[in-house]
Chain A
Amino acid sequence: MREIAFDTVKDAVAKLCMDANYDIGDDIIAALKHGLEIEESETGKDILKQILKNNEIAHDERVPSCQDTGFAVVWVEIGSGVTIAGGELNDAISQGVAKGYTDGYLRKSIVEDPLRRKNTGDNTPPIIYIDIVPGDQLKITVQPKGGGAENMSEVKMLTPAAGAEGFKDFVVDRVRRSKANPCPPVIVGAAIGGTFEKCAMNAKKAQLRKVGSVHPDPFYADMEKELLERINKLGIGPQGLGGRVTALAVFIEAFPCHIATMPTAVNMCCHASRHKTVVL
């Protein structure tokens, strides 16, 4: 067995929380620049310029690109040959989140109970998804997820008869109804299949893909392209003030499902689609 020290994991997670919030990925920057070229609305262009400028400041000064530094969603792939020395993996991640959000001057956005709403003070607990994979490496991705776009997300249990058209209409309609609220231009995570909860999780996981990447299955690659075109005809535009660039990308995640079901889910993400990965 390969041992990885508790503190190594904790420190890595703390750094990922900060880096993700300070540095918007190059793929998003490139997509925003492309958006600026194709945007027709003057207001829309101004907004895209402001967002690009903002991301530059955040990077240069190491400050959060958005004040909503999110719920820390942590995706873990742990090799079956790895053990954590000196503590539990979940605790190392949780303590890493607390450290990253405190040391990095990131906003603490988590309340300990949804109805009594007292802030936990250190942005814990994180949401942790663990997969056990072959090998002796530990891969950790931190995806800080803001609340505004999350509120525009939805799971819908369609019937198999609804087919591809039903799925596509649901995705487009979800973006249409979201209007300005999720901070467009958005990244749309769309999932189909699995169970009720697996589908929702996959819609979020879909957002970890690089903007500009092509779905490996040509059937879904074509569907992503079609959906992006349809969404960018809605007219919502940057910040919902009207324009061509409503979404930067649509990512589909499909999964096997039951003969009676066709779960679908849309998880919306703002233009600040943040995620950083480390392999230990």
Chain B
Amino acid sequence: MVKKITTPLTEETVAGLHAGDSVLITGTIYTGRDLAHKELVDAIEAGKDLPFDPHGAIIYYVGPSPAPPGKPIGSAGPTTSYRMDSFAPLLMEKGLKGMIGKGNRTQPVLDAMKKYRAVYFAAVGGAAALIAKSIKDARVIAYEDLGPEAVRELKVEDFPAIVVNDMYGEDLYEKGMAEYRRE
């Protein structure tokens, strides 16, 4: 069954998500990858405001390709998440509730998801042209000089993702791999 969820994510929405759930996300999400995460964390540490309200927010780890004429965004699939792991716990502490990316997270991030009640979604890596269809609008809101790494506000409708890590500590990567391992 596919669950439809909307942003910002509430405590209740997060509590209802479990590893293995397929979801369609509608609302506003924010992009950020390697350099943007460094900027965001530097801003928090310097006591400055973030370019978006982190409470209940979802960050999508993506550096889209440029928008061709007539389209709001270029291809926009997830990038590998672990590179953001050293920054993610602080963002969750500030209210971040969701992260969309691909690939395994490290233990401090898994621990932070339980502590701050947040969830990690996987989008299909390399399905970038398909995913772009669910992005209706995109605008750069910070760090424009970073090019593909700038922070964008995306309006999404039925953005497809899968819950990998829920706030209860379940991990679909571990579960799925164990189920099909035949070594």
Residues of A within 8 A of B (CB): 40-41, 43, 46-47, 50-51, 53-55, 57-58, 61, 63-69, 105-109, 117, 119, 121, 147-148, 151, 179-181, 183, 230, 233-237, 239-244, 270-272
Contact = CB atoms under 8 A, between A and B. Distances in A.
A241 B19 CA distance: 11
Contacts of B102: 148, 180-181, 183, 239-240
A41 B182 CA distance: 14
A97 B149 CA distance: 21
Contacts of B20: 43
23 contacts: A40-B180, A43-B20, A54-B126, A67-B64, A67-B128, A68-B63, A68-B77, A68-B79, A105-B68, A105-B74, A107-B65, A119-B146, A151-B80, A179-B103, A180-B122, A181-B102, A234-B181, A235-B176, A235-B181, A240-B104, A242-B180, A243-B176, A270-B125
B127 A63 contact: no
A271 B126 CA distance: 8
B172 A148 contact: no
Given A180-B104, A271-B126, 17 more contacts: A50-B124, A50-B127, A51-B124, A58-B129, A67-B62, A67-B128, A106-B66, A107-B66, A107-B74, A119-B148, A234-B181, A235-B177, A236-B177, A241-B176, A242-B172, A242-B173, A243-B180
A97 to B, nearest CB: 15
Residue from B77, B104, B122, B127 with most neighbouring chain A CB atoms (10 Å) = B127
A51 B160 CA distance: 13
Contact of B128 (A47, A66, A121, A239): A66
A107 B177 contact: no
Interface in B114-130: 122, 124-130
A63 B104 CA distance: 28
B67 A105 contact: yes
Interface in B44-90: 62-68, 71, 74-77, 79-80, 82
A150 to B, nearest CB: 10
A117 to B, nearest CB: 7
Contacts of B164: 241
B133 interface: yes
Contacts of A107: 63-66, 74, 148
Nearest to B79: A148
Contacts of B22: 46
A61 B128 CA distance: 13
Interface of B: 20, 22, 35, 62-68, 71, 74-77, 79-80, 82, 102-104, 122, 124-133, 146-149, 160, 162, 164, 172-173, 175-183
Contact of A180 (B65, B103, B127): B103
A179 B127 contact: no
Report which residue of B173, B176, B182 has the largest number of chain A beta carbons within 10 angstroms of its beta carbon: B176
Contacts of B62: 67
Nearest to B38: A117
A54 B128 CA distance: 7
Given A41-B180, A241-B172, A64 B128 contact: yes
A121 B103 CA distance: 28
